Amino acid sequence: MRSPGDMLVVGSVALDSVRTPYGEAAEVLGGSAAYFAFSAAHYGTVRVVAVVGEDFPGVHRGDFTRRGVDLSGLETAPGRTFRWRGEYAADTMNYWIARKPDRVLEVLRRVDIALLNEEEARALAGETLLVRAADRLLEQGARAVIIKKGEHGALYRDHEARFVTPAFPVEDLRDPTGAGDSFAGGFLGWLARSGGSDGDSVCLALACGTTMASLAIEDFSPRRLIEARREEIVERVRFLHQMVHYDLKPLF
């Protein structure tokens, strides 16, 4: 039986080799499901469905277990674990948008909330201005969309409301790999934990997603997500609140 805070993630668990202007790391834990799981695990129970090879390091299984992530759906298949290598990090599905846009829109219409980055939103909507892109995606059948704008925060849009959240001002950027998946983990993690779907819940979920993404990019692999303390997360969410909160007084 599903309990509040339960989440299921289906995706990749991989070994990443990444080089950025701030350093490099070889064959560290990565994959979309890994980043999502470690982010969302701060808010509830996460079950992972993924496939790894026989060479997948046991130490990484231990990382998942210590964070309370359920690995009963992690299959070990003959062969090597998937490797991903990049000179830069990107969270994109532009290949599918360019070649199969109708299929992407079909998926978009079936989900409750679609999360896209700026490039994806512009390409799929055919609009340069992000506000118009969000509106166009709703016209194309989306129920709600979040457009992730990197260091400029995120935009949420549904048929009744529009919210924005700033990015947390990270001073020690190391590797942006997995930022989008970490955002999704924090955002959906809070919604699953709270059980809410109203405007206030969505706003706070955006702040949680932004916070988890800010932690993820401060180191290679999901290490910061694994080590993050609850107090640290709360402090960053409060900081975001202070950045946008002000008393509305008569202006004239």
Q: Hunting for tokens 């970490």 — which residue is that?
A: 182
On whether the pTM is more than 0.75, the answer is: yes
Per-residue pLDDT of the chain (252 residues; tens, 9 = 90+): 456 679 999 999 999 999 988 899 999 999 999 999 999 999 999 999 999 999 999 999 999 999 999 999 999 999 999 998 875 464 446 778 888 889 999 999 999 999 999 999 999 999 999 999 999 999 999 999 999 998 999 999 999 999 999 999 999 899 999 999 999 999 999 999 999 888 889 999 999 999 999 999 999 999 999 999 999 999 999 999 999 888 878 778
Q: Which CATH class is domain 7-244?
A: alpha beta
What residue spans define the domains of the chain?
Answer: 7-244
In degrees rounded to 5, what are phi and psi of residue 138?
-65, -40
E strand or H helix that includes residue 240:
helix 230-244
Which residues lie below 8 Å from residue 218, measured CB to CB, with a gap of 6+?
A: 170, 172, 173, 174, 224
